[in-house]
Structure 1
Amino acid sequence: MTELAELPAVPGAARTQGRPRSSRAHEAILEAVLDLIEEGTTVEALSMEAIAARAGVGKATIYRRWAGKDELLLETLVKLKGPAPQPSGESLRADLIELLSVVGKKDQRAVRVMPCLMPEVSRSPEAYRIWQEAITEPRREVMREVLRRGVASGELRADLDLEVTVSMLISPLLLHRMVRWNPRLDEVDDLVAQVVDVVLRGVAA
């Protein structure tokens, strides 16, 4: 397949080896990775050759943007899930509800891709590392920061264990939304608020 033509670079965009980036080629490469994973290609089997062929670019175009497959996968996962949400700062409770309201919710592309990717994440240490670095850890850190502010303001106990508290908040909602462990909770309209309130009662100053 012929390589996509390089388009003029956006003003201020980074350049590599003196050549302007093509936003069209860049997006085509990310989409190619998602397409291949969606079709069942494992992370280990995913090759730069296959990605280039699907995107309609040469391998050199890929390597001008990413040093290797791991770096490309990181950006692809960020594209799929989007950046970590940022709370509005209204209050401790409101920020936690805001952050937890998106836990386990995905757009239709992610619904198709993630089931193909998760077995690989469970099996492959490298895929797990990429998943943690690109998706999970940034979201945990946002919630840690909200809790740190709660400790600093005196709303939460000074000896709060951030890791345990984050897990207490996220895990019930993630479990329910991923596997519907308790279908009775489907009928609870304010489930997120209830989880937040129960946890906050236990960790309040």
Structure 2
Amino acid sequence: MTELAETPAQPGAARTQGRPRSSRAHEAILEAVLDLLADGVSVEALSMEAIAARAGVGKATIYRRWAGKDELLLEALVKLKGPPPQPLGDSVRADLVRLLTVVGPKDERAVRVMPCLFPEVHRSSEAYRIWQEGMAEPRREVMREVLRRGIATGELRPDTDVEVTTSLLISPMLLHRMVRWNPALDGYEDLAERVVDTVLRGVTA
């Protein structure tokens, strides 16, 4: 196996601890993690040896970048999910619909990886932390900001419970996407709009 080479240091560049990072090797390692998860390897069974073999690097190359598997897994899953969509500020309703709608290209591996992650989240405190820090909390915070803005502008009632409203909006969309909890909703192309409008009827000023 030929290991992906490290990028040589540029003349005059300040040296950091260890050898310079190779963006090519870095990406190959992240892709290897996602490919293995998409192939059905559980978080628990995912090993540094398997990741290194899939990426075509040595284990030392991985440990130069991540302290352990949890940190590597977190970055890979954040890469898979991508950044949360950002509100445009037109209206609370428009921003909430945007946040609940899948925006931009979607990695097809997410359909296989994300449902498999949930059992791990229930079994492992580390998997739970990775899920919360890497994916759930950043998206919740963006939605909280939209709701707080709606309260400040008078679009929403001043006594709106931001945390409960956030969960009311996110939970049905997440549940349907992950496990198709209610197949009757499959044909609702405007599901995000329906969820937002239903919730807003209860919190609109």
TM class by shorter chain equals 0.7 to 0.9
User: d(CA) in 2 for partners of 1:72 and 1:51?
Assistant: 10
User: d(CA) in 1 for partners of 2:147 and 2:122?
Assistant: 29
Unaligned runs of 5+ in 1: none
Kept in 1: contact 2:114–2:178 (CA 8 A): no
> Closer, same or farther in 2 for the Cα pair 1:14/1:106, shift >3 Å?
farther
User: d(CA) in 1 for partners of 2:185 and 2:46?
Assistant: 38
> Which residue of 2 is the match for residue 118 of structure 1?
118
User: d(CA) in 1 for partners of 2:197 and 2:110?
Assistant: 29
Query: Which letter maps to 2:42?
Result: T
> Which residue of 2 is the match for residue 150 of structure 1?
150
CA RMSD of aligned residues (A): 2.4
Cα offset for 1:9?
6.7
**TM-score with structure 1 setting the length:** 0.87
> Which residue of 1 is the match for residue 160 of structure 2?
160
Unaligned runs of 5+ in 2: none
> Closer, same or farther in 2 for the Cα pair 1:136/1:157, shift >3 Å?
same
Kept in 2: contact 1:31–1:55 (CA 8 A): yes
Q: Deviations over 1:50-107 (max 9, x none)?
A: 222221112221122112211111100011111122122221110001011129x953
Kept in 2: contact 1:93–1:196 (CA 8 A): yes
Cα offset for 1:117?
2.5
User: d(CA) in 2 for partners of 1:184 and 1:15?
Assistant: 58
**Residue 203 (str. 1) matches residue 191 (str. 2):** no
Query: Which letter maps to 1:99?
Result: L
Q: Deviations over 1:117-143 (max 9, x none)?
A: 332223222112111111111111110
> Closer, same or farther in 2 for the Cα pair 1:152/1:59, shift >3 Å?
same
Query: Which letter maps to 2:20?
Result: P
> Which residue of 2 is the match for residue 180 of structure 1?
180
Identity of aligned residues (%): 80
Cα offset for 1:176?
2.7
- Three-state SS of the structure 1 residue aligned to 2:109 is helix
Kept in 1: contact 2:84–2:99 (CA 8 A): no
- Three-state SS of the structure 1 residue aligned to 2:26 is helix
Question: How is 1:71-90 mapped onto 2 (pairs within 5 angstroms)?
Answer: 71-90=71-90
Instruction: Please say which of residues 177-186 and 90-99 is displaced more in the overlay.
Output: 177-186
Cα offset for 1:147?
0.5
Kept in 2: contact 1:77–1:134 (CA 8 A): yes
> Which residue of 1 is the match for residue 49 of structure 2?
49
Question: How is 1:98-117 mapped onto 2 (pairs within 5 angstroms)?
Answer: 98-102=98-102, 107-117=107-117
> Closer, same or farther in 2 for the Cα pair 1:16/1:79, shift >3 Å?
farther
- Three-state SS of the structure 1 residue aligned to 2:90 is coil
Instruction: Please say which of residues 28-37 and 15-24 is displaced more in the overlay.
Output: 15-24
> Which residue of 1 is the match for residue 96 of structure 2?
96
> Closer, same or farther in 2 for the Cα pair 1:25/1:94, shift >3 Å?
same
**TM-score with structure 2 setting the length:** 0.87
> Which residue of 1 is the match for residue 22 of structure 2?
22
Kept in 1: contact 2:9–2:20 (CA 8 A): yes
User: d(CA) in 2 for partners of 1:47 and 1:191?
Assistant: 39
